[in-house]
Chain A
Amino acid sequence: MEKLVYEKLNETIYHETLDNGLNVYLIPKQDYHKVFATFTTRYGSFDQSFYDPKTGKKVNQPAGIAHFLEHKMFSMPDKTDAFENLSKFGVNANAYTSFDRTSYLFSGTNNTKEALNYLLDFVQTPYFTTSSVKKEQGIIDEELRMYQDYPSQRLFYGLLQNLYIKHPVQTEIGGTVASIKKITATKLYQAYDAFYHPSNMELVLVGNFDAEEMIHVIKENQGKKGYEKQSEIKRIMPKEPKKINVIHKEIEMSVVMPKLGIAMKLTPEDGQKALKQDFTLSILLDLYFSNSGTYYNDLLKNGLINDSFEYSTIQENGILSIVMTSDTNTPDVLSAKLKQMLLSLKRKKLDETGFERIKRGMFGQFVMSLNSLESISMSFTKYQSFGISMFDIPALIDSITLDDIKKLTKDFNQKRISTLFILPSKVQNQQV
């Protein structure tokens, strides 16, 4: 096992790549009671087209298949449910699918070795039948329809659909009612065989355990399974044009106050550069839109926003954008104002003191996040996919300069801003 010590932060990580290619990261914390385990495949809603590693043939799959597969992983050949089986060990189990990965996880204070063995076993036991796929289609159909009733979900995906033309980010992670109908057991096996090979996966454990003992448990479990080597999967991503899809859209829903969403499409970099770009953008937004920012305080004073105001960056493979949302009585006024504020950042002389203050704050937030085993485990998995350890993030933030911000704002373009309003369905004429 390779041992990495981050003295300043008082953190130690053990890493080993097993013979079957599985990457194992162990972060022991003896003074905690809990163990938090995540078993992750780099397979998410983006991965609809790829070359099958076995046949080399191009495969196109329906939107939402990664999420569907996650649901189906819990059905076991003996007709039991893996979620219930895990719960019997007294641990809390969960799973989630995002744009670029699927994670299976549990946390608990007892029977953690047994639970870990079971976690590895059930994720490595695919079992899909025609009838069970059919049943699941009904359940997910229901779930997708339910999301349609969530205003914040509609706002988020609505904005992405406004911005993106070809990139799969514009389809919901769960797919659509139509796309999931096309999913079959055969397609699930095809996806499973390609993406659930240990060499495309990683296991992260944080919490109360002994690293030597745990790696032994994991090796013994994996050694029995006889995986053969598999070459790397080649994914196919459509080329996304620079321009946006739609400039403005309005939908009606049952909300008390109108909701505004505004988003700007930017040109993303690759790999670690993309990560740095994302942090740079966050610093800039914090400078003006956090609760110490001039713009935020102006908007608040003028009654244009309330505590629901949020802003964030969306940074994914081939994606970089800014998204802002708020409840507001005057979406027209607010959207004009935000547009103007965003574009003004191109010409702003940046305040150096503020810049340093925000960077220091980001470092503080990073240290604070290390209190939570969940957050360590999630961030670790996320940053690992950029080929960087999360404990190197402070250094990355520290390397950002005012010039990086200037460079980034050159890419801000009026033509790539889009807005979306959700208006209360009862009101016919919105007062502005």
Chain B
Amino acid sequence: MILVDQTKKFKTVLITLKFKAEASRETFAFRTLLPSVLRAKTNLYKNRKVFNEKLEEMYSASLTSNTNKIGRLSVIHLQLKLVNPVLVDEALFEEGLKFMREYVYGHNQFSQKDFEVEKRLLLEEVISKENDKTRYALTRLFDEMCKDELYGARVAGTKEQIEALTLAQFKKSYQSFLKNDELQIILSGDVNEAQVKLAETYFPNASFNQTDFLDYETKSVESVTEIIEQDKISQTKLNIGYRLPVRQGDSLHTAAVLFNAALGGYVHSRLFLNVREKHSLCYYISSVYDAYKGLMFLYSGVDAKRLDLAIKVINDEVNKMMTTKISEKELNLSKQALINDLKESEDSQGARQNVLYIQALLNKKASLEERIAKINAVTPDQLLEVGKLLVKDTVYLLDVER
């Protein structure tokens, strides 16, 4: 099955391959490294240079990739962005298909040297990410909060896992990837029937099986875990994780999305207005809701000198959301912002494609109008219901050296 987003709105055509498999700690490093090793060399393009020359020849087609976890799935996303062939050269579309097939499947062998280069690059990237303290502090929150759950694992693999990966293992994993990963194709842009058919002939293996991919792993929280660590930094990172047992498809799902929006999703949200604007206690503060997993977390960079006050104000704001009903007026601000985001994402080809894919995974189709109607139907009572389900799990503090 090929998903198609037929539209003349954009000046580009996207050919996207999504490879999905059940996520497991053991394969994260391999799956992150795979897209880069594949582009170092193929049967047809003997080295990285000629591979990239081919992309330039196709009017600077851009090839992007990433490996992500969606619920319990690990999805490798490979995307070729072409200038709409109608604008430059009709043959470009098929050239793109051929190129993507070669990129994924044209590998009779892998060279040790290329493998080592890619491994080094990935390692250096992982290390430099650790230097980003905001990101580091968030990973540490999940390390602690979801210690015994898949969610706690680093999606890119750990330094140790990457270092330990050998070419022999890589080759074996590649074979298993070819055999076991399910491929879904998404075409987006000014594409016609004939081109969709053509894509089917290039990728006859594309298929799609519906599974429940939501992550139900959880734990019962007896008491709040508090972790304090120190580093040579100038502002304290304060992150708090909560369990919120509402997932995609649950009746309270949209209410949970709005709960998060009102608490810390936007600049009009309570955390931003109170912690940042009113009390000037932090540089950034935001909350995020993960509906595939059923948790919510907030992260902030706090003035180290006024940490205690910041903790108090944040806790007060969260408690208020859990115990007191929000006004219609305030809720409407979040509804408006969310609807604006939905509409704006319709203006992005990549975002539309993502929506299409997630809807396929969930086996749910909803038009923009239907999604907007769902948001508008949420009531303040439902937000309070969501609030009552929120359970504080872990506080992670990366503090300045005092």
Contact = CB atoms under 8 A, between A and B. Distances in A.
Given A290-B52, A306-B120, A34 B60 contact: no
B56 A357 contact: yes
B12 A256 contact: no
Contacts of B81: 368
Given A110-B336, A292-B52, A33 B125 contact: no
B47 interface: yes
Nearest to A356: B57
B11 A256 contact: no
Nearest to A83: B267
Contacts of B60: 360-362, 364-365, 368
A241 interface: no
A291 interface: yes
Contact of B124 (A108, A293, A306, A368): A306
Nearest to B55: A292
Contacts of A303: 117, 120
Interface in B68-116: 81, 83-84, 87-88, 113
Contacts of A109: 339-340, 343-344
Interface string B11-48: 11000000000000000000000000000000000011
B127 A33 contact: no
Q: Which of A10, A33, A365, A368 has the most CB of B within 10 A?
A: A368
A110 B341 CA distance: 11
A303 B121 CA distance: 9
A33 B339 CA distance: 11
Interface string A241-279: 000000000000011110000000000000000000000
A2 B234 CA distance: 54
A363 interface: yes
Contact of A360 (B48, B59, B232): B59
A294 B128 contact: no
Interface size class on chain B is 35 or more
Interface size class on chain A is 35 or more
Nearest to B337: A90
A308 interface: yes
Main SS at interface, chain B: helix
Interface in A364-399: 364-365, 367-368, 370-371, 373
A30 to B, nearest CB: 10
Interface string A21-38: 000000000011110000
B56 A360 contact: yes
Contacts of A33: 343-344, 346-347
A367 B11 contact: yes
A168 B16 CA distance: 46
A210 interface: no
Interface in B319-375: 336-337, 339-340, 343-344, 346-347, 349
Interface in A101-133: 107-110
B11 A291 contact: no
Given A110-B336, A256-B128, A363 B232 contact: no
Contacts of B268: 87
Nearest to A365: B60
B234 A149 contact: yes
A292 B54 CA distance: 9
A378 to B, nearest CB: 16
Contacts of B120: 303, 306
A297 interface: yes
A206 to B, nearest CB: 11
A257 B83 contact: no
A347 to B, nearest CB: 21
Q: Which of B49, B56, B339 has the most CB of A within 10 A?
A: B56
Contacts of B347: 32-34, 373
Main SS at interface, chain A: loop
B125 A364 contact: no
Contacts, number: 113
Interface string A338-374: 0000000000000000100110111111011011010
A217 interface: no
B49 A358 contact: no
B163 to A, nearest CB: 16
B61 interface: yes
Contacts of A364: 58-61, 83, 88
A373 B49 CA distance: 33
Contact of A357 (B12, B53, B121, B128): B53
Interface in B181-236: 232, 234
Contacts of A300: 48, 117
B355 to A, nearest CB: 14
B343 A368 contact: no
Contact of B56 (A107, A149, A292, A368): A292
B6 interface: no
A109 B346 CA distance: 11
Contacts of B62: 368
A303 B127 CA distance: 16
Contacts of B9: 31-32
B124 A307 contact: yes
Q: Which of B61, B127, B343 has the most CB of A within 10 A?
A: B343
A403 B12 CA distance: 32
Contacts of A363: 59
B284 interface: no
A329 to B, nearest CB: 9
Nearest to A297: B49
A358 B124 contact: no
Q: Which of B53, B120, B121, B131 has the most CB of A within 10 A?
A: B53
B86 to A, nearest CB: 10
B130 interface: yes
A327 interface: yes
B53 A307 contact: no
B3 to A, nearest CB: 20
Interface string A287-330: 00011111001001101001110000000000000000001000
Contacts of A293: 49
Nearest to A300: B117
A358 B343 contact: no
A432 to B, nearest CB: 18
A34 B346 CA distance: 9
A254 B401 CA distance: 15
Given A149-B234, A292-B56, A370 B48 contact: no
CB-based closest 3 A-B pairs: A364-B59, A361-B60, A292-B52
Given A290-B52, A291-B48, A364-B83, 12 more contacts: A9-B87, A34-B347, A90-B337, A107-B344, A109-B339, A291-B52, A308-B128, A354-B53, A360-B56, A360-B57, A364-B88, A367-B59
Interface of B: 8-12, 47-50, 52-53, 55-62, 81, 83-84, 87-88, 113, 117, 120-121, 124-125, 127-128, 130-131, 232, 234, 267-268, 336-337, 339-340, 343-344, 346-347, 349
19 contacts: A31-B8, A34-B344, A109-B339, A109-B344, A256-B130, A290-B52, A291-B48, A291-B49, A306-B124, A307-B124, A360-B57, A361-B60, A364-B58, A365-B60, A367-B11, A367-B12, A367-B88, A371-B349, A373-B347
Interface of A: 8-10, 31-34, 87, 90-91, 107-110, 149, 254-257, 290-294, 297, 300-301, 303, 306-308, 327, 354, 357-358, 360-365, 367-368, 370-371, 373
